[in-house]
Amino acid sequence: MRVRWQDVNAQIVQRFNEIGLATDEAEVLAQQLEDSERRGKRSHGYQRFKMLWDWQSRVVLRQIQIQQLTSSVLHLDGGNHPGTSIAQKAASHLQCSVRRNGVCLAAAHSCGPTGQLGFFLRPLAQAGLASIMSASTLPLCAPMGGAEAVLGTNPIAIALPGQGKGAPPIVFDASTAETTLGAIQVALRRGDAIPPNVLLRNGRPVILPSDHRLSGMAFLLEILSGLISGARVGRIGEPTNLGFWMLVFDPRLLISQLDYENGLEGFLKDVSASEPLAGQRIRIPGEASERNFVASLSEAYVDLADSVAGEIFTSTFAAESSNTLPIGVENSKTL
């Protein structure tokens, strides 16, 4: 189904308004879903609407609390608001304070899923700042050697300024799992086989690790994004209490703008000129994403799967899904 981008976003905002979410928060959600679609990350695009709507329709919103622990450290209580809203607030606060402090940190708890992390870091990089962020998710992954979902897919993103003013930033944004919930959902929608590293236990997916390094990173990020941030950790804690942390600093503390740009130019040229494998091309982090985004700007319409369009433009699923927990919550417990 082909729909105008603005019509999809307007409908998403309206649907979230109907369950009590403020327009500005609903608009950020819609913008992030659109950004993911345009960048070719459909697993994090409009198909996530129903999951996010289900999530927000279940929680009771509280006032967002922002605690200034030091001049450069923030701790946010998200009050069950969308992770997108809380992450955007954190990024905005850090961008202002990093000019005074050079290095700033924020951590948050009690918020919903954050989605694609590069969405929040890309504007910081465009402003000449370096940043790193990770977020916790519901438990979908087994630890190395395990068969039970204990860890989240816990994404991590790093964003750095590009080559001079107006140049696209360098952004790495990836899950620490072999696949993601969104990718599994896309496969199920299309009737495709689920990835081979996904085990079904009682009809629920468990992502099995094949690399101890990724599994180890997911384990540590579970502690950073969950436990230290004040959110759930593993299967312990309130199912809807997700968290994240974000670190932002000004590279000009360590290197001049000119030296950074010249050094980056030389490094990118060297990497791009290196010999590729037969039939392959050298890939720079974020390059394909940016290429997809720019190409999509000439398109007035987005192609939606009929099932996704139905979920966004109708409310027939609302009654039956109001008591349904997203994949992964069943793997949780509260202590």
DSSP SS3 for 1: coil
DSSP string, 127-173: TT-EEEEEE---S-BPPTT--S--B----EEEEE--SSTTPPPEEEE
Please report, to the nearest 10 degrees, the dihedral formed by the alpha carbons of residues 113, 116, 122, 125 taken in order.
Answer: 70
**φ and ψ at residue 297, rounded to 5 degrees:** -65, -20
CATH number belonging to the domain at 2-256+286-329, selected among 2.60.40.10, 3.30.1370.60, 2.60.40.4070, 2.40.50.140: 3.30.1370.60
Q: Radius of gyration (Cα) for the chain, nearest Å?
A: 20
Q: How far is CA 308 from the centre of its chain?
A: 19
Give per-10-residue mean pLDDT for the chain (335 aa). Answer: 96 97 98 98 94 95 97 98 98 96 97 97 97 96 93 96 90 90 79 81 85 93 97 95 98 96 96 96 95 96 94 65 39 37
Terminal CA-to-CA distance of the chain, rounded, Å?
Answer: 45
Residue (of 134, 105, 291, 314) closest to 218 by Cα position: 134
pLDDT of residue 191: 80
pLDDT of residue 302: 97
Cα 176 to Cα 8, 143, 145, 183, 208: the distances in Å are 30, 12, 16, 14, 12
- Measured distance CA(160)–CA(135) in Å, rounded: 19
pLDDT of residue 328: 40
pLDDT of residue 315: 66
pLDDT, tens digit, 9 for 90 and up, residues 95-111: 999 999 999 999 999 99
Q: Where are the domains of the chain?
A: 2-256+286-329
Kindly report the pTM of this predicted structure.
Answer: 0.90
